[in-house]
Structure 1
Amino acid sequence: MGGPRALLLCLFGAVLFLTGIQTFEFSGSQALQCYSFQHIYFGPFDLSGMKFLNVSCLLGCSEAVLPLNTGYGSAVTMVQKGCWTGPAMGQMQRNDKALPPHYSVVRGCGTDFCNANLQTHDSLPNLSRGPLPNPRTLSGAKCYSCVGIHPEDCTPEKSRQVQCHQDQSICFQGNGSMTFGNFSVPVYIRTCHRPSCTIQGTTSPRTNIDLQGSCCEGHLCNKDSISLHQRLGHRPS
């Protein structure tokens, strides 16, 4: 068998960039041995030294990291390793104005136990990093900020009250799901948003971050229930 060839998909802030594209091929009748793992983290993750289960795969191995971030210090991150079952390439979506910030890193490979590259949060892009804006760059709006996988994780009582960045003058509340292959979790989120209230989930051949929600204008106005799906991208009147 030749050297491994990898496919890498990267999504940043609802923008999908396909970089360093190479399809990988697995030749031969013997199945590959791949690592198997899936978990949800609510902060930085570190898989160093962790022992994974093994799984036999016919087409290749895969690993993925999908974080959904409020942009104000809170995130839900899906980490998954297993078999590659999807197409090597697929349709891309792009929307520069979409919030909340989220991205995905997906890697496929074709040798035994090759899905061990994505090991720590620090090795990946992270939209929550960077200096927080000083008071001169704040919009004056104040919103609840939280993200979780249960409605009770993201009640106003459990949310932070944040001063919004300069380009974000309204509040957002909503829910949806994060999916990689057959691994899917619900998400609930409150945060600041831009006046356009553009909410565009990201998708790739194997991943999907789908959000529904609504925006409002006013001091801490995003305090309603988010246990039910809400109309997508509703702008404040």
Structure 2
Amino acid sequence: MPACLGSEDAWGLARRTSQAEVRAGGAVLRISTQVHNMAVGVTRVILLCLFGPFLCLTDGQTSESSGTQARQCYSFQHIYFGPFDLSDVNFSNVSCPQGCSEAVLSLNTGYRSSVTLVQKGCWRGPLTGQMLSDDKSLPPDYSVVRRCATDLCNANLQTHDSLPNLSPAPSPPTLSGTECYACVGIHPEDCTPEKSRRVQCHQDQSVCFQGNGRMTLGNFSAPVYVRTCQRPSCTIKGTTSPWTNIDLQGSCCEGDLCNRDSLTQSFTSASDTAAPRVPHVTVLLLTVSLLGGALGGSLGLS
């Protein structure tokens, strides 16, 4: 097994990203990619750590370990609707042989409504990872995963301020003229037209979207139901990585408030419902691998 990379290593994953940063044992390696995002209009940062092709965050598993000193870690998981704040939460403690983890996964309508999964616990996982990203995809989402190796070190992600703004005002501040329902929740009844907001869509979003899927963060997951504005291409590929995943299906429609159908139906692929002139979708694949011991590896972008 490769050596552990220092006492505190952190990484994050964000869809529609402009920069990748890898931290290992105090050294910093950077990869920059030029990605333009008309809908969100903000730069997302990926902090990709050199750790495993999958994330397993546990609430209190111990292992028949091999002499590694166990660490005390905070244990917690919860689903939030809107901003979260953990400053007053009393966490339980667990013993973790391979260090601690904390992670946040958030899905937003782009119009000030969100569902966010927060988890803290034990870290387990080998040393390679990939992130699949699409800068044309909506609704916006963000994920960050952090690993550390000292007692009770998984207390950095405490408030919604650790996430970027996924509902920025359009720039330029113009609208498309289309009105859609906007909501996101973990039950169909959370997102009925009666409980949804009616929003004026941003300039490049001239169709409405409705769909469902699942958000997964380590071994913690929840169903998700969403209505919002979309681009005519109707690209809905969510974050896909070894550590987090948002799997969405849905359809787009034209006309004001047309996204009023049941969210429990089986949707076809959103790309199948898009107009024939849909542009080719460029997929960004970031691959990070570590070969050998700490800082003895290579960083690849393909």
> So what's the TM-score if we normalise by structure 1?
0.90
- For 1:6, what is the secondary structure of its paired residue? strand
Which runs of structure 2 are paired with 1:185-196 in the superposition (5 Å)? 185-196=222-233
Alpha-carbon separation, structure 2, partners of 1:208 and 1:150? 19
Q: Alignment partner for residue 185 of structure 2, among 148, 154, 163?
A: 148
Amino acid at match of 2:254: E
Find runs of 4+ consecutive structure 1 residues off by over 6 angstroms. none
The AA in structure 2 aligned to 1:59 is: Q
Match for residue 235 of structure 1 among 273, 278, 286: 273
Following superposition, the deviation at residue 43 of structure 1 comes to 1.3
2:14 corresponds in structure 1 to: 11
Larger-Rg structure: 2
Task: Kindly indicate whether the alpha-carbon contact (under 8 Å) linking 1:16 and 1:94 is maintained by their aligned counterparts in 2.
Answer: no
Shift of 1:168: 0.2
Displacement after TM superposition at 1:133 (Å) = 6.5
SS in 1 for 2:260: coil
2:209·2:252 contact (CA, 8 Å) conserved in 1? Answer: yes
Q: Cα offset for 1:94? A: 1.8
Give matches, 1:53-92, under 5 Å. Answer: 53-92=92-131
Distance 1:65 1:202, change over 3 A: same
CA 1:107–1:155: 2 relative to 1, 3 Å = same
Cα separation, 2, equivalents of 1:27 and 1:18: 33
- 8 Å contact kept, 1:68–1:77: yes
Residue 169 of structure 2 corresponds to: 131
> Partner letter of residue 5 of structure 1?
E
Structure 2, unaligned runs of 5 or more: 25-49, 52-64, 276-302
1:104-161 Cα deviation digits (max 9, x unpaired) = 0111111111111001112321212x43678x61001111100000000001111111
Match for 1:47: what amino acid?
L
Higher mean alpha-carbon deviation, 92-101 vs 222-231, is at 222-231
Q: Distance in 1 between matches of 2:111 and 2:86?
A: 24
Residues 59 and 85, structure 1, Cα contact 8 Å, conserved in 2: yes
Q: What number of residue pairs does the alignment pair up?
A: 233
- Equivalent residue for 1:200, pick from 237, 244, 266: 237
- Work out whether residues 10 and 19 of structure 1, in 8 Å CA contact, stay in contact via their aligned partners in 2: no
SS in 1 for 2:88: coil
Equivalent in 21, 27, 46 of residue 23 of structure 2: 21
Q: Distance in 2 between matches of 1:17 and 1:187?
A: 28
Q: CA deviation at 1:236?
A: 4.8
Question: Could you tell me how far 1:16 is from its partner in structure 2?
Answer: 8.6
d(CA) in 2 for partners of 1:64, 1:88: 17
Tell me the CA shift for residue 60 of structure 1.
1.7
> Is residue 185–residue 226 contact of structure 2 (8 Å, CA) maintained in 1?
yes
Contact 2:68 2:98 in 1 (8 A): no
Q: Deviations over 1:71-104 (max 9, x none)?
A: 0110011111011123343121121100000010
Residues of 1 paired with 2:125 and 2:269: CA distance? Answer: 28
Give distance in 1, aligned partners of 2:192 and 2:109.
14
CA distance in 1, matches of 2:7, 2:66: 12
